[in-house]
Amino acid sequence: MTTGFYWDERCFWHGGGNYAFLSPVGGLVQPLAAGGLPEGPESKRRLKALLDVTGLAAELRCQSAPPATWEDLARVHPEAFLQKFKGLSDASGGELGLRTPFGPGGFEIASLSAGLAKAALTDVLKGDIRNAYSLSRPPGHHCLPDWPNGFCLLANIAIAIESVQAAGLARRIAVIDWDVHHGNGTEAIFYDRDDVLTVSLHQDRNYPLDTGDAADRGRGAGEGFNRNIPLPPGGGRHAYLSAWDRLVDQQVADFAPDAIVIACGFDASGVDPLGRMMLSAADFGDLTRRAMALADRVCDGRLVLVHEGGYSEVHVPFCGHAAIGALAGSGIEAADPMHPRITGQQPGAAFDAFTDSWIDGLAHTLDG
């Protein structure tokens, strides 16, 4: 079976307002030449273009999907929030929460972004495709039920999960988030539940500053079903692969999910402006292959990657190409221009030893 690739040009049309990096322009904050927030369309558009140019897109089942329905959204987000978002969207746009500006039609674009994730997960669970990548934009893993933040307007992955559970296609889903920022929205939505395992690999104390601690393990029925794996800034390939092998793999296998969803941010890249980690495109390919091997063992290969962060227009296309190429088992490669620099700057043996002791401490905390 083939790999599905879900995308839509309209998702690239989401507008983020007049910002200079993370600050609204005005006063002493001069507008940047490019304008807008770091979460812009070009890193995603350039990823799709790279897939076309190398020929990898021809090996995928590329398609759009319907937007998530109001019913889909309302399983995660309160009616009052949806009404307010829709009202602002129908008028002139606006901002809800923190750093989540949008223009007219922003509600429809965000619903489409969630719809792409929903379709990808649905089609994988139905057996129409083996695995899938959803190029969702705007992203979703920071969005709380009633408070968007971190560029995320709707909780794309949570909406997709609730949809397939409501349709009887799955009961237990594991979410592994390797975005450089903590997946606080996904965590909050499923924090009290034992039918969704949430695992977040992230840079310690990046964003949000006050979430993502390893001691936050879930509540009530969800106790033990939320696992935060904060990694020290500067950690590279060794940190991520060791954390996966020692803290992620067996926990997900023991959970025995019906499918695995990856919150696939590429902002742990060694040149990302909003992260301080050190991954290369090849490392994202290796993480994807690890996720595929895990899915093959526990859920007949049912795996979906949903695009989240990643703010280097230069590097995200190559990171995404490596991940999608791995998903498809393709021999087509796109040489990463940043590979020599990032691999040459990997931490040395002393830092790797420090990282190993850090992971030992995390293991103790995660096991309660």
Strand stretches in the chain, DSSP E: 3-6, 19-20, 23-24, 61-63, 94-95, 101-102, 131-134, 173-177, 196-203, 226-231, 259-264, 303-307
Tell me, what's the pLDDT at 33? Answer: 59
Of the listed ranges 89-98, 126-135, 268-277, 289-298, the one predicted with least confidence: 89-98
Q: Residue 32: is its pLDDT beyond 90?
A: no
Higher-confidence position of 94 and 320 = 320
Tell me, what's the pLDDT at 310? Answer: 98
Tell me, what's the pLDDT at 38? Answer: 87
Q: Residue 362: is its pLDDT beyond 80?
A: yes
Report helix angle 316-328 to 281-298, nearest 10: 30
Tell me, what's the pLDDT at 325? Answer: 98
Per CATH, the number for 3-7+40-69+110-366 is 3.40.800.20
Place of tokens 């968007």: 148
Q: Residue 286: is its pLDDT beyond 80?
A: yes
Q: Residue 302: is its pLDDT beyond 80?
A: yes
Q: Is 96 left (phi over 0), alpha (psi -120 to 50) or beta?
A: beta
Tell me, what's the pLDDT at 29? Answer: 73
**Which residue from 367, 18, 305 is spatially nearest to 139, judged by alpha carbons?**
305
Q: Residue 22: is its pLDDT beyond 90?
A: no
Q: Is 142 a catalytic residue?
A: yes
Tell me, what's the pLDDT at 117? Answer: 99
Tell me, what's the pLDDT at 30? Answer: 75
Structure tokens at 302: 């049912």
The active-site residue out of 14, 142, 182, 202 is 142
Per the prediction, the chain carries an average pLDDT of: 96
Higher-confidence position of 103 and 308 = 308
- pLDDT, tens digit (0-9, with 9 covering 90-100), for 73-109: 999 999 999 999 999 999 989 999 988 999 999 999 9
Place of tokens 């393990």: 217
- pLDDT, tens digit (0-9, with 9 covering 90-100), for 139-198: 999 999 999 999 999 999 999 999 999 999 999 999 999 999 999 999 999 999 999 999
Tell me, what's the pLDDT at 35? Answer: 63
* Cβ contacts of 280 within 8 Å, gap of 6 or more: 237, 269, 270, 319, 336, 338, 339, 342, 343
Rounded to two decimals, the pTM is: 0.97
Higher-confidence position of 35 and 11 = 11
Higher-confidence position of 314 and 35 = 314
- pLDDT, tens digit (0-9, with 9 covering 90-100), for 199-217: 999 999 999 999 999 999 9
Q: Is 175 left (phi over 0), alpha (psi -120 to 50) or beta?
A: beta
Pairing of strands 101-102, 303-307: unpaired
